[in-house]
Amino acid sequence: MSIWLEDSGSKPSRSRRSEQPSGLDRERITDATVKLLDAEGLAKFSMRRLASELGVTAMSVYWYVATKDDLLELALDRVFGEPRLPATDATEEGDAPDWREQLRELAAEYRALIVRHPWTSTLTGNFLNVGPNSLLFSHAVQKVIAGTGLSLPRQRGAIASVFQFVYGYSTIEGHFVQRCAEAGMTQDEYFREAMSAFRAPPELADTFQHTEEMMSAIEGGESVEQMRDLDFQAALDLQIAGIEALVAQEAKQAGR
């Protein structure tokens, strides 16, 4: 089911004993996997490619890992250790940072993670993603949202709303960045290229009119990257405003 659920963890971890002939190790294997996935993408990643990178036969890796999917799960949880999480024990009253600030920071960290490692989003979709680092991340998310003062059912809605948005947004963004890199273009070049290669279906002319209006409707949005930053922030603003509105609404109902 998952390497993190019992039974699949049967292969010993062999992390601390680095006197192997080839110096192999789950740690080193996971390292190399992440590096390869970053460099060449999920589609090109293979056990044979990884093994050759490690200077070893393809089958050696199978001593440390039961299956390719298990290895991908390890890599996935590995990168979920990267985001800086808000200090969880701000027990003192005065200096506890505002939930808005925490939310923005955590969202930015999550976005950066996915854009840095675009393969991450494909894997979170395909696996359960319940490794230790992923759990710590989820915990941080829950804590931040709990700080809003929403009721528990609405906290669940808010978590879904904010972090599935970040997931979706960053997935598209990350894949686009990767495509540009593969084509050897900057994002602006790629974007202009795609735009000019576009033969708009005549019956959709008005669609593009509205779209282009919206595209140029942002001051300070000269580059693709700037536009994406602005959109991302605008969406977070919307969600924060939504949370505030629901908090106020619940307070009013309670006061009645």
Partner DNA sequence: ACCTGAACACCGTTCAAGT
Binding site for DNA (CB under 7 A): 12, 14, 17, 20-24, 45-49, 56-60, 62-64, 67-69
56 vs 116, beta carbon nearer its own copies: 116
Quick note: the x/- pattern for its own copies over 163-192, rule CB under 8 A, is: xxxxxxx-xx--x-------x---------
16 vs 199, beta carbon nearer its own copies: 199
Q: CA of 162: how far to CAs of 19, 87, 141, 144, 202, in Å?
A: 46, 20, 10, 11, 37
Size of the site for its own copies (CB under 8 A): 73
Selected from 2, 26, 66, 149, the binder of its own copies by CB under 8 A is: 2
The answer to whether 223 touches 215, Cβ cutoff 8 Å, is no
CB 37 to its own copies: min, Å: 15
HSE-CB of 97 using CA atoms within 13 angstroms: 15
Cα Rg of the chain, angstroms: 22
Nearest residue to 144 (alpha-carbon basis) of 189, 188, 99: 99
| Contact status: 233 vs its own copies (CB under 8 A) | yes
Selection from DNA, its own copies, none that 169 binds (CB < 5 to 8 A by kind) is its own copies
Phi, psi of 158 (to 5 degrees): -70, -40
16 vs 210, beta carbon nearer its own copies: 210
Selection from DNA, its own copies, none that 74 binds (CB < 5 to 8 A by kind) is none
The answer to whether 140 touches 106, Cβ cutoff 8 Å, is yes
How far apart (Å, rounded) are the C-alpha atoms in residues 117 and 219?
30
Quick note: the x/- pattern for its own copies over 110-149, rule CB under 8 A, is: -----------xx-xxx-x-x-x--xx-xx--xx--x---
| Contact status: 210 vs its own copies (CB under 8 A) | yes
Termini Cα distance of the chain? 49
